[in-house]
Structure 1
């Protein structure tokens, strides 16, 4: 039952069998017989799964063999290993059939079918004689049903089964030896890589395989024969479980050999089954005036692979072949991290693929700025800009404590205060971080009325004497905002009173609207040195706001 360093699976199977044998010695027979049947079913299922796995691996090798001589050779050796296992299992199944025929077969009824879809309990599962006689006392070239055995029992049947197990192991391991000598595998020009791969596999499998039947030495130095220990002094149910175990061992050894043959021709290499667009950039933070640069890559990857990835020294969760690196920004500044991906090599082992990344942590502060001054004017659309470093504008909330705020573009807003009800307006900013909004800052703006415009006759200011000829050609009066921060803000004259004081005394006229026509009748008769005045000047500004302008007067030059 031993064979050097065993895999955990084989250790478990062997241990289960030995425990059941030990419990049997305590006369816990009924429960142990059922346990042997459960073990037999479990081993049969495992053997079928291994066979399916081996078939897939063989198909992978064959798919590489179209124009590759090494893959063609590997496929032939894999098929040979399968044929050896198939023959062994056929022989063991013949022995099982013979034992069933000699022991009233298996029980009927659902209560004896302990595993759905498996084999029922043996009718004489606790019998200790039928198989003892069969293995130790009989030597016949044919089965009890008259059909020939697939192997020639030249010895007692028990010794023949022992030889069958050991010879099958030798034949399977010999497949690797032959592959090493093949010019397309062990002899190919790859600096001895494939030969070393197969040689190491043969050495390791020789030590760890459980497909071995050998006599055991007791602590007192006496030898206990394998046939006596496992085929004579076990109940019939235990013998069936043991035979199923060796079938499983054969498939397991075939599986190891087939996998190594696949490795030798890269049939077990990573298969890329998906693609994705990748944007690789040194940094996603760009200052004004800097150039943003990124590499655009179509990346192929294996969505079914279980790659091991680390970033910054910590393991990264891998889902569908894609690693997701997440880190919470702490202290503001630029941070670098190294990425390592362990990529399986066709010849076994892994190769580390490394890359470097970096990210920038900005302080959680919103930049709020008026596009002109830190003043909001009543009745005007006051533009402001809002930005939160590292946050998309669509995930930023902005609120004003007075007036109405309207978004007019990414990070661009207008604040309109129709009526002055205070001296300040507070702009508050929140940003969506994860699934919640976090305050990012606020800023206060002064609220001011739009300054009064000054009166003009056409474009003429009345702050000094004006030639009469210049006044006569002006068709309208205007209200002008001098040096105002916002361009395009206009006031329109609604009306005024014109007074002319000349040699014949004062004369006045009321002008409705901006037209100077009513005043021209008085100006026509005036001379140099006489005085003119504009009073009760009304103008309407943005939002329909009506203001009264300062009176204007001058002397005619």
Structure 2
């Protein structure tokens, strides 16, 4: 078309051909521009929702930090730093978008936003990055580096680093370009606006991920003080007259950062020096012979009020041994399907002179026994203990223990419970596990089967703990933001035939 001397007719044909191609390109570009505009609007709406969700999480953390500064202060300081940096970068991008569209009267006229002039002149000068472009890169790089530093060695740090990567890019033709030029030079205005809106979405996602990573549990429910039980734990179960009382009162969920506002025992305030990390030290006389009660309450600051946790316990002071003392090493119950360690003794009588019997009870060494409830049924088991005092007087006693099933386990993905966020590519390769995070026994559980549910798709059943091809294909149909539910999880105790009654579901939220 460009070679040699062309006749006026041929020149006209060539011109018409170029006009025809331009018209085709124009029609195609209008559709693309409209698509970018609609995408930009959807992402912007999602950012508004993310802002509200993050704000609620920040407020919940602020409340908990005001109540228990030791426990939540560090997490609050880190998330506050990320929030400040996120707001600064988000607002900078919002201001830049405002400059880019300041001359556009109708912000919804996406087909008119086809010129690349603004950012081509704003970010670049003479084929090089302009001072404005350098400022843009500096803000993105600083946000990435400082956020990664706060997150430390957590897996999220590498995700954030990838989200805001600004290193050189090699295009499809093998040409290496700097990141700013590759992403913004020569693109239509609406395309660049959409890219900036997506960067804002990445900022909101980073805030949400950081809150989750730094807290590990839901703030408003899982950390509420109403989830704690007070327990009276003595060094031994019976005392002789004149002995010094020894033991402590601890919370069932002991935390070294947890300190009570006030503790009252038997109507008197406990000295501040004896109120330590998650416990109260008992140190005083036992009292006279007979039964003694310890009653009171822990008081914790929660919001504008004090949450009170009742304390109730008792102990006996005896003149000399006259009955057996039996205590479970783990708890005051025995669990089906497990070997429950127990200590059985009679004060003042050597262990080799003490005998104990009950269905499923076997003797170990010294005063140690193991109780494995039999399958004969029943909700409790009685242990009979007998022995002889040094003077030859026989002593015997019965003790009843409750038999309970192992509590409901929780479905896990990557060692996490509840809702776990990850890319679709990772979700198709996960292993489903089960765990008992607050159970007294350190058990290994084996997943036998589970079901997978993707919104809008039929449920798939999987045998074993790993996804089969059908389940992986189902997850590939999930969209960003979809929550894939793994439920009806069947699991058993490893190296045992005991199958758990219930395993709670785990949810994977697709991030991209």
TM more than 0.5: no
Q: Tell me the TM-score normalised to structure 1 length.
A: 0.37
Kindly name which structure, 1 or 2, has the bigger radius of gyration based on alpha carbons: 1
What TM-score do you get using the length of structure 2 for normalisation?
A: 0.40
